[in-house]
């Protein structure tokens, strides 16, 4: 057994013990482990496991740790590399600040900020709920009170909080209180989480500007709430747009088409009003 295979088997053993692993996944992982321990050819066993897991991967129904295992089985080791969260826990410099935004699935909220000048780091995670260290499965159930969100660490010398707010409003449907686009439920509701009085004042001013813009016929329902603990999401969800490029482009494409139509209608509405 080579080093790569040993690492996969180590992760399989850990995933079997992980409470978040589904029964279906665990059955296949246990079978693979038993087959290897029973003397079957490792490469053949892992190929079989990859085939067993592929249908769930295509539907994005694998739990995070098993998704990482599948990435390794599929030859995409980069997607399975553990994401470095040390920057999330580090103290910010005097010229740095953080913003926390929720706007539906966090997969589509990372890239627009991450690729902007002045952004130090962007993390996918959960916030606003009442359970410590929540998992994706717990948050998805809608019973923890959390929403999927992104935490953005930015250099205030390069980009301002107001700049990030302006971008945020371009990424969400501010008239949809119980989800965003195809993602439905309270865990996908749009929220601006403010960390201090200055951020709250800026968020409220931006809300008023959107409300007065005439772009939307329906009420603006984005919530502005005090920030609470931000819990980073599992490795699989971090930098999803880099690790799962094809799937991200498909999801983001649908989102952009819906937003493009809404923005076009809004511009026409404003034009008609001014005539």
- Catalytic residue numbers read 105
**Coil, strand or helix at 60:** coil
Contacts 24+ apart (CB under 8 A), 69-75: 69/8, 69/11, 69/12, 69/15, 69/29, 71/243, 72/4, 72/7, 72/8, 72/11, 73/8, 73/46, 73/47, 73/49, 74/50
* C-beta of residue 12 within 8 angstroms of C-beta of residue 69: yes
For the chain, the maximum distance between any two Cα atoms, rounded to a whole number of angstroms, is 79
Locate tokens 């499965």: which residue? Answer: 137
Contact of 168 with 160, CB cutoff 8 Å: no
CA 198, 84, 167: angle at the middle one, nearest 5?
35
Q: What is the dihedral of CA 154, 255, 166, 158, to 10 degrees?
A: 30
- The torsion of the CA quartet 96, 97, 100, 101, rounded to 10 degrees, works out to -80
What long-range pairs does 54-60 form, CB within 8 A, spacing at least 24?
Answer: 56/24, 56/25, 60/247
Phi, psi of 184 (to 5 degrees): -115, 150
Q: Hey, what are 46's tokens?
A: 């892992």
């Amino acid at each position: 057994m080579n080093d790569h295979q040993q690492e996969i088997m180590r992760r399989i053993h850990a995933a079997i013990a992980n409470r978040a692993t589904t029964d279906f996944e665990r059955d296949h992982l246990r079978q693979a482990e038993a087959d290897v321990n029973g003397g079957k050819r490792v490469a053949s066993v892992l190929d079989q496991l990859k085939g067993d897991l592929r249908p769930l991967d295509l539907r994005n129904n694998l739990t995070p740790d098993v998704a990482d295992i599948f990435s390794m089985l599929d030859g995409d080791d980069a997607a399975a590399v553990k994401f470095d969260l040390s920057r999330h826990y580090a103290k910010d410099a005097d010229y740095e600040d953080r913003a926390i935004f929720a706007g539906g699935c966090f997969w589509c909220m990372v890239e627009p900020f991450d690729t902007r000048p002045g952004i130090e780091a962007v993390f996918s995670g959960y916030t606003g709920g009442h359970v410590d260290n929540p998992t994706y499965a717990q948050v998805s159930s809608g019973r923890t009170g959390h929403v999927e969100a992104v935490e953005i660490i930015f250099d205030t010398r390069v980009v301002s909080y107001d700049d990030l707010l302006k971008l945020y409003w371009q990424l969400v449907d501010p008239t949809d209180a119980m989800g965003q686009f195809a993602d439905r439920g309270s865990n996908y509701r749009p929220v601006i989480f403010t960390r201090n009085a200055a951020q709250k004042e800026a968020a409220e001013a931006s809300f008023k500007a959107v409300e007065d813009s005439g772009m939307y016929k329906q009420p603006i329902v984005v919530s502005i709430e005090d920030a609470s603990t931000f819990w980073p999401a599992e490795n699989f969800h971090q930098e999803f747009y880099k690790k799962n490029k094809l799937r991200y482009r498909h999801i983001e494409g649908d989102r952009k088409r819906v937003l493009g139509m809404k923005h076009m209608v809004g511009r026409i509405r404003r034009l008609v009003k001014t005539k």
